[in-house]
Amino acid sequence: MSGYDWRHAAARRDDGVRTVTRFTWRAGVAGVLCSAIIGLAFGHHADTQTAHQHQQGILVPNQPPRPGHGAGQVTSGAT
């Protein structure tokens, strides 16, 4: 035991802690970036979905009916 290098061991421990800390920070930053990218992607997708669903609603005519005069060429009533 007397030959054990305590100072070297402590330095190695500190290096390890720094390495873990560095990786933790990098993972955190990467997570934030990924979240932002995913958020942008899903946000865009949500907009697309809304627009798509709106387009798939009941279709309105290009022109509303205009006043007509006299008899009709055809009758629209219930069957």
Partner 1 sequence: MTTSTVARDSFGVFGTTAVLLVTEAGALSQARALADAELAAVDLACSRFRPDSELTAVNAAGGAAVTVTEMFADLLAAALRAARLTDGDVDPTCGQALAGLGYDRDFAQVRAGGPASLGTVFGPVPGWRRVEFDQQVLRVRVPTGTQLDLGATAKAWASDHCAELIAGRLGCGVLVSLGGDLAVAGPVPDDGWRVRVTDDHAAGPEAPGQTVTITDGGLATSSTTVRTWTAGDRQVHHIIDPATGEPARSCWRTVSVAAGTCFDANTASTAAIIRGEAAAAWLDDAGLPARLVRPDGTVVTTAGWPADDDPAPSS
Residues that bind partner 1 (CB under 8 A): 56-79
Q: Which is nearer to partner 1, 3 or 64 (CB)?
A: 64
Q: What sign for the dihedral angle of Cα 33, 38, 41, 47?
A: negative
Kindly report the length of the chain: 79
- The least distance separating partner 1 from the CB of residue 78, rounded to whole angstroms, comes to 3
- The least distance separating partner 1 from the CB of residue 45, rounded to whole angstroms, comes to 20
- The least distance separating partner 1 from the CB of residue 23, rounded to whole angstroms, comes to 47
